[in-house]
């Protein structure tokens, strides 16, 4: 609903800009046809019209950018507030119950496990917000060290297996062998974990995720994460990498998130001289996310 409203206002401003330029051009051509003899005025007229056209174009670009920024701001407030508030509310409720009622040992253990899960969720949201802020700082340079990518991906797979309680048959890893990339270990780890975490998270109850490393050529190595989940419509394949963007629809309300994960993946890829992209045959047919990084020479 909100997204449609924003898209409509963006379309309105673009249409307004195009219409104004068209009217100007028509007036201008008419004016030239009527006054083609007065040369000097003609040159001045040309300059004036060009200036006005530039002004309108700049104005339209500025308005569209402002609308996008507002849209991102709203999305940030909604997603992050929800993602911060829900686990805190849940932890509070369990603590209140433990404080006011006698709870048997088994229930107590269950409460502690849920509270730990909630605090993990809280921590991961906070880490994502902080990392997004750090990556957004233009002055920040990449702290490069040698990374053993095979070992890094393996540890990310283990981490997601533990977090989502899935086994090796549901989340498998196929390696192309040892590979070293130069980069910021923590940033690359965050990017790879986000991809694997999304694949499991969006697969729902039937998780069949494969993580692969592939040597694209002698200069690059690609981490590919494929799932058999809900897939992504073609027109959304690029948009999902935008900051705070979540594909609108029932999936977004059922599965919670901040819309920061893929933005982090793309930013980390670019900062390391690589790229990130998504492939999908369409809704219901699974998706593959790829992160391509240059290998250390
Ligand atoms: P979040 O998962 O917190 O919403 P992301 O930036 O990680 O944010 O993902 C952006 C959007 O891309 C998600 O909201 C979801 O709609 C879509 N998406 C990401 N990964 C997958 C996937 N494996 N399968 C289907 N949709 C996905």
Which one of 160, 240, 268 would you pick to mutate in the ligand 1 pocket, going by the greatest count of ligand atoms within 8 A of its CB?
240
65-109 pLDDT, tens per residue? 888 888 877 877 887 888 889 899 999 999 999 999 888 999 999
What's the angle, vertex CA 247, arms to CA 245 and CA 248, rounded to 5? 110
- pLDDT band per the 50, 70, 90 thresholds, residue 10: confident
| Residue bearing tokens 């997004």 | 132
Give me the pLDDT at residue 1, please. 53
Residue 235 to residues 95, 232, 282, Cα–Cα distance (Å): 45, 8, 10
Give me the pLDDT at residue 2, please. 55
pLDDT exceeds cutoff 70 at 140: no
How confident is the model over 169-180, as a mean pLDDT? 94
* Rounded CA separation 244/266 (Å): 13
Record the tokens describing residue 37, joined without a space.
């003899």
CA nearest neighbour of 193 among 279, 291, 81: 291
* Rounded CA separation 147/125 (Å): 25
* Rounded CA separation 276/195 (Å): 10
How confident is the model over 153-175, as a mean pLDDT? 93
CA of 225 to the centre of ligand 1 (A): 13
> What integer best gives the mean pLDDT of the chain?
88
* Rounded CA separation 5/12 (Å): 10
Q: Which ligand 1 atom is nearest residue 260's CA?
A: 6
pLDDT exceeds cutoff 90 at 41: no
Q: Is 69 exposed, middle or buried (0-12, 13-18, 19+ CB in 10 A)?
A: exposed
How confident is the model over 144-167, as a mean pLDDT? 93
112-138 pLDDT, tens per residue? 999 998 999 899 899 998 998 888 776
| 127 neighbors 261 (Cβ within 8 angstroms) | no
pTM, full prediction: 0.77
Give me the pLDDT at residue 158, please. 95
CA of 243 to the centre of ligand 1 (A): 11
Q: Report the share of the chain in percent with pLDDT over 70.
A: 95
- pLDDT band per the 50, 70, 90 thresholds, residue 6: low
β pairing state of 145-148 and 180-183: antiparallel
Residue 131 to residues 136, 178, 179, 226, Cα–Cα distance (Å): 8, 28, 25, 25
236-251 pLDDT, tens per residue? 999 999 988 889 888 8
Q: Report the share of the chain in percent with pLDDT over 90.
A: 50
Q: Which ligand 1 atom is nearest residue 194's CA?
A: 7
Give me the pLDDT at residue 289, please. 98
How confident is the model over 29-49, as a mean pLDDT? 75
């Amino acid at each position: 609903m909100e997204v449609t409203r924003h898209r409509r206002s963006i379309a309105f401003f673009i249409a307004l800009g195009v219409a104004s330029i068209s009217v100007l051009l028509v007036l201008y051509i008419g004016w030239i046809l009527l006054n083609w003899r007065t040369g000097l005025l003609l040159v001045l007229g040309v300059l004036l019209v060009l200036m006005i056209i530039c002004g309108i174009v700049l104005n339209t670009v500025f308005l569209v950018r402002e609308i996008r920024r507002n849209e991102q701001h709203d999305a940030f407030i909604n997603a992050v507030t929800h993602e911060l508030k829900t686990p805190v509310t849940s932890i509070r409720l369990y603590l209140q119950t433990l404080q006011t009622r006698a709870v048997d040992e088994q229930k107590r253990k269950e409460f502690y496990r849920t509270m730990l899960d909630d605090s993990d969720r809280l921590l991961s949201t906070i880490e994502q917000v902080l990392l997004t802020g750090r990556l957004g700082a233009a002055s920040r340079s990449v702290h490069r060290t040698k990374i053993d990518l095979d070992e890094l991906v393996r540890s990310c797979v283990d981490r997601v297996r533990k977090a989502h309680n899935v086994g090796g048959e549901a989340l498998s890893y196929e390696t192309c062998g040892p590979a070293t990339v130069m980069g910021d270990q923590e940033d690359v780890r965050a990017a790879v974990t986000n991809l694997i975490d999304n694949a499991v998270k969006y697969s729902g109850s039937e998780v069949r995720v494969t993580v692969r490393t592939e040597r694209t050529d002698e200069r690059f190595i690609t981490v590919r994460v494929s799932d058999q989940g809900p897939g992504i419509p073609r027109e959304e394949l690029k948009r999902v990498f935008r900051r705070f963007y979540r594909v609108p629809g029932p999936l977004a309300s059922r599965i919670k998130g901040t819309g920061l994960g893929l933005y982090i993946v793309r930013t980390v890829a670019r900062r390391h001289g690589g790229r990130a992209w998504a492939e999908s045959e369409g809704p219901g047919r699974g998706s593959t996310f790829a992160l391509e990084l240059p290998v250390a020479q």
